[in-house]
Each structure stands twice: as structure tokens, then as C-alpha cells.
Structure 1
């Protein structure tokens, strides 16, 4: 029996006043950029909060959106998606990193 396409709940960034959004990406603790996806919307809400916008995407569509960014890895069901922890320095630097992922499993 053939399985259908793998469908994910994928967090997105939205722009105020626009219906256009972009998929969210993150970084592993080692610094590798990854796509973020969840097998169920409740797992997304647990990791990112109930207010996080998301869309349903099949795996192939998500991969095609990540490919131009040079991202070939998808973290599935991370337990926590949070801003990267930075070490304080004497000169404040604005945050420019992607969210960090904790406890994620790889597709």
C-alpha cells in the first residue's frame, strides 16, 4: 500500500497587512541552518507558542523552499525553538541569528 505525501505543520514569519509569509528556519546547537517542521500542530504550539502562525506543507514543497537558501536538513518536532543564547560582551551587538533548536529529530 502506497503512503501519501508526508504533511507537516510548518512555522512561518508573516508580514503585517500582507498575506505573504516565509518559512521559519533555525540553527542546530552546532550552527547548521535547518528547516523547522512538526508532525502535528499541537507539537508546534508546545515548542513555539500557540500564537505562532503556520501552514500545512508536504515535505517536497518544504524542501523546494529551503533549497535556494542552501538548507538541506529539516528538524522534525523540536522540543523547543528559541533565540540563540549569546555570551555578553563589552559592546552590545544586535541579535542576528536564527532560532536554536533543542531535542529535534532528523527526517
Structure 2
């Protein structure tokens, strides 16, 4: 039974609003789910590739893949291109997807 001081979840969200903390949580959750999407797709694709070229070769390629995208995501987070546009966050999401894509291949190889 609801009393006078009880509010629903929708009312709490309405009162709280959407501020910097919610934006920060959205950014961090985006960094997490994109790795898992890459892992899912990487597992499917690297499994087929490892059947064709062999497990050892695939494992070597996958480890180099993870290294490259891991380093790229670490060093090129907030770079600017000559036109002045920043591509830091989309670049980081792309690199984290690449890491997840490679990590999906380690289980298959």
C-alpha cells in the first residue's frame, strides 16, 4: 500500500532529472557493452577463420589484433582532426569494439 510519502520510480526519475551523473553513467556503460558486442561477433567470425587457416595462426593474429586496438584505445582517445572536429569518444568506442572482436577469437582459437 502506498502512503503519502511514497513515490514511484517514474516520479523519482522525473524529480531527479537528467544531469552530468547520468551522462557519465551512459558513457561508461557504452564502453562496456560495445566490448561485449565485439566479443559476440568476433567469436562467430574468428571461429570460421580458425577452421580455415588453423588455430595457431588465428591465435597469433587475434593476439596482435588485441594489442593493436588496445594500444590505439589507450593513446588516441581525444585527438582532433585538422577541421577541428573531435572524434575522441566514437574513436574510443571503435577501438574497444576492436578489442572485444579480437577477444572473441581467443576462445575460438
Structure with the largest fraction of helix? 2
Greater relative CO (CA pairs within 8 A, separation 6+)? 2
Q: Which of the five TM-score ranges fits, normalised by the shorter chain?
A: under 0.3
What TM-score do you get using the length of structure 2 for normalisation?
A: 0.20
What TM-score do you get using the length of structure 1 for normalisation?
A: 0.20
